A and B are shown apart, each in its own frame.
Chain A
């Protein structure tokens, strides 16, 4: 699928709708205002006309922005994009290093327990958590929402979850 960059000059709540009207979709948005857009050349031409958009780059190619006088943060995002098209990176990506190999992180790299305020992940040796009816991941609630804590109690200090009988901490959402 084709991708291109758009650099913004203003914030606009209607921007996403404007891009969709041009048959494009925003894949990612990097502050302070660089969008990675799913769309072809026709979409890019239409996005270029949107009021909040300062400049649009080429589809699926590196972008020479030397004439745009970008701030450092914006230039970094464009630089990262361009690095993806560098000979060095393309060659490395084409190697598809360790493709299809199972991840080999011992004990897993997903730590769903509630750790103390300054502690690190639960030890992998703690074994799998019991069937909790759904570890819901670690997303943070929107402002005003109360994050769910162990035992189903909203709010609270995440470091206060009592240990289970075996000394480990319970998974999120499981009975304390």
Chain B
């Protein structure tokens, strides 16, 4: 099992589409936007790995795109109402469309279905002729969610609420705006979470004493630690830079300089 950001990683991108004509239905252009955001977000990580890893990590993202169209009326999913969503807020919004999407894909509802899909991604035959060593699922939807983008580390899945995360200008939900048409760095940031990297921005309530990733690296660029200077980092802000702590959390470390990453797949 590979828990570092290296080697081939399979990703199931599930576009959770609403009924035709509804507010949850994706247009063709929006569907392409989703694919483009993931491609560019992964490209950012690939470029960062080239620049920052002491040994090439052979990062290769492999995408299995699915579009499932549900009959659920988007009006039945409550709009987000707070910048501090509770567990119940997440559940009430995500569960209905996520469960239906998994069923439409032929899997059981809940995290068991996500796990099964991930196992499929790990074992299926890929056209590129490469066998992945890790996998996760990314749900992208126009149905409401409690927040615009988040990652479940332990269950290996992400949620992107497309209209919100890609919004610019005055568009806001629950008092927060999105990150614009080119929201690929949100994808890169959330993918960082999949590989164990923590948030570094103050609002995340991070602590520099916490440790993360396969190598147990502390969150040394956490903004809440006022005793140290902070540097630009993808896990801190909307930038394509990356800090030393995140580099190490990703597993881009060759401590003994033997030309092999310490946690190579």
Contact = CB atoms under 8 A, between A and B. Distances in A.
Contacts of A101: 237-238
Nearest to A3: B43
Interface stretch (B71-79, B176-184, B252-260): B176-184
Contact of B213 (A117, A128, A136): A136
A125 B211 contact: no
B122 interface: yes
Interface centre among B1, B110, B157 (most CB of A within 10 A): B1
A68 interface: no
A80 B36 contact: yes
A131 B210 contact: yes
B134 interface: yes
A140 B128 contact: no
Nearest to A36: B39
Interface residues of B, number: 106
A73 interface: yes
A138 B91 contact: no
Contacts of B65: 30-31, 73, 76-77
A34 B10 CA distance: 14
A11 interface: yes
Interface in A70-106: 73, 76-77, 79-81, 83-84, 89, 92-93, 95-106
A11 B1 CA distance: 24
A35 interface: yes
Given A118-B91, A119-B95, A142-B133, 10 more contacts: A28-B60, A92-B168, A102-B203, A117-B111, A118-B99, A118-B111, A125-B86, A139-B3, A139-B195, A140-B119
